[in-house]
Amino acid sequence: MQVVVPFAAETPKTRLRSVLSAAERSRFARAMLADVLEALARTGHDLTVVATSPLSSDDDLVGVPSTVRVEVDDRPLTDAVDARLPRRGRTGEPVAVVMADLALATPESLEGLFGPDADVVIAPGRGGGTNALVVRHPDFRADYHGASYLDHRAAANGVGASLETIDSFRLGTDIDEPADLVEVLIHGTGRSPECLRALGFELERTDGRVDTERSLDSTSADSRSR
Ligand SMILES: Nc1nc2c(ncn2[C@@H]2O[C@H](COP(=O)(O)OP(=O)(O)OP(=O)(O)O)[C@@H](O)[C@H]2O)c(=O)[nH]1
Ligand SMILES: C[C@H](OP(=O)(O)O)C(=O)O
21: CATH: 3.90.550.10
Amino acid at 21: S
Nearest one of 114, 70, 77, 117 to 96, comparing CA atoms: 114
Let me know the angle formed at the C-alpha of 128 by 127 and 130, rounded to the nearest 5 degrees: 120
Question: Which helix (H) or strand (E) covers residue 88, if one does?
Answer: none
Domain membership flag for residue 48 = yes
Nearest one of 78, 171, 79 to 121, comparing CA atoms: 171
Q: How many domains does the chain have?
A: 1
Domain membership flag for residue 150 = yes
Contact 22, 222 (CB under 8 A): yes
User: Does residue 180 line the site of ligand 2, with CB under 6 A?
Assistant: no
Segments forming the whole domain that contains residue 154: 2-176
Residue 109: its pLDDT value, please? 98
Expressed in angstroms and rounded, the spacing between residue 77 Cα and the centre of ligand 2 is 10
Domain membership flag for residue 21 = yes
Looking at ligand 1, which residue's alpha carbon is closest to its atom 7?
8
Looking at ligand 1, which residue's alpha carbon is closest to its atom 21?
13
Domain membership flag for residue 72 = yes
Q: Phi and psi for 98 in degrees, rounded to 5?
A: -125, 125
Q: What gap in Å lies between CA 116 and CA 208, rounded to an integer?
A: 39
**pLDDT tens across 57-72, in order?**
888 888 888 899 999 9
Greater confidence (212 vs 207) lies with: 212
Dihedral angle at the C-alpha atoms of 110, 37, 188, 82, nearest 10 degrees?
-60
**pLDDT tens across 90-113, in order?**
767 999 999 999 999 999 999 999
User: Does residue 173 line the site of ligand 2, with CB under 6 A?
Assistant: no
**pLDDT tens across 98-157, in order?**
999 999 999 999 999 999 999 999 999 999 999 999 999 999 999 999 999 999 999 999
Cα–Cα distances in Å, from 140 out to 8, 21, 143, 159, 167?
23, 38, 10, 7, 21
Domain membership flag for residue 153 = yes
Of ligand 1's listed atoms, the one at least distance from the Cα of 100 is 27
Looking at ligand 2, which residue's alpha carbon is closest to its atom 5?
145
> Beta partners for 209?
206
Residue 89: its pLDDT value, please? 81
Expressed in angstroms and rounded, the spacing between residue 86 Cα and the centre of ligand 2 is 21
Domain membership flag for residue 110 = yes
Amino acid at 33: L
Domain membership flag for residue 81 = yes
DSSP state of 180: G
Expressed in angstroms and rounded, the spacing between residue 7 Cα and the centre of ligand 1 is 6
Name the percent of the chain lying above pLDDT 90. Answer: 85
Expressed in angstroms and rounded, the spacing between residue 207 Cα and the centre of ligand 1 is 34
Looking at ligand 1, which residue's alpha carbon is closest to its atom 15?
176
